Amino acid sequence: MNHISDAPPPEPAGSGSDPRLAGSAWRSALDDRTVEAVGALTEALETAEIARGHLFAFHQLTGSADYKVEDAIGLLKAAGHGDLAQRLTTELLGRNVLPGRWTFQIIEEYESTYFDVFRDLEREVRALTGGMPHVYEADLKRRRRSAGEPGHEAEPTEPAA
């Protein structure tokens, strides 16, 4: 079975009519297993994106800690503890968090070694759904929402009940 629809790709969400939510012929041309598989990979990418976000948090927090160490060094010097201030300056301020690496290098290596490859492969697999993201979730929305009820509109442009 051909898993790639011959129909033209749908208009992106927000264009007024989202075929993912309408149950259109475009969607019926897609194999449910393919939609589920693409959805699973997209969910995995979203998890990797969260991990990437945690690396940025790690980067920001570590940088902030380094600046706070610098502030503490100044306070120690002012309080007459020059020897301890010097140790912090020499041993901790600007120190690598991993051998030879600051946090920005960890992020860059994660992106180039893993995340960029993951994102590119997910985009390639998503071509099976015409490049549209979240087709699986749109199916869930169609099945689970209470059509005609307030707060259950298919799209922002649909009049509220």
Per-residue model confidence (pLDDT) at position 160: 74
pTM: 0.80
Per-residue model confidence (pLDDT) at position 26: 78
Nearest-angstrom CA–CA distance, 49 and 104? 16
Does residue 156 fall inside a structural domain?
Answer: no
Domain count, the chain: 1
Per-residue model confidence (pLDDT) at position 16: 58
Does residue 29 fall inside a structural domain?
Answer: yes
Does residue 153 fall inside a structural domain?
Answer: no
Does residue 125 fall inside a structural domain?
Answer: yes
Does residue 86 fall inside a structural domain?
Answer: yes
Q: Which domain holds residue 80?
A: 25-138
| DSSP at 12 | P
Does residue 13 fall inside a structural domain?
Answer: no
Size (the chain), residues: 161
Does residue 40 fall inside a structural domain?
Answer: yes
Average pLDDT of the chain to the nearest whole number: 89
Which residue positions in the chain have pLDDT lower than 50? 1-10, 12-14
Nearest-angstrom CA–CA distance, 30 and 19? 12
Nearest-angstrom CA–CA distance, 124 and 134? 14
Does residue 18 fall inside a structural domain?
Answer: no
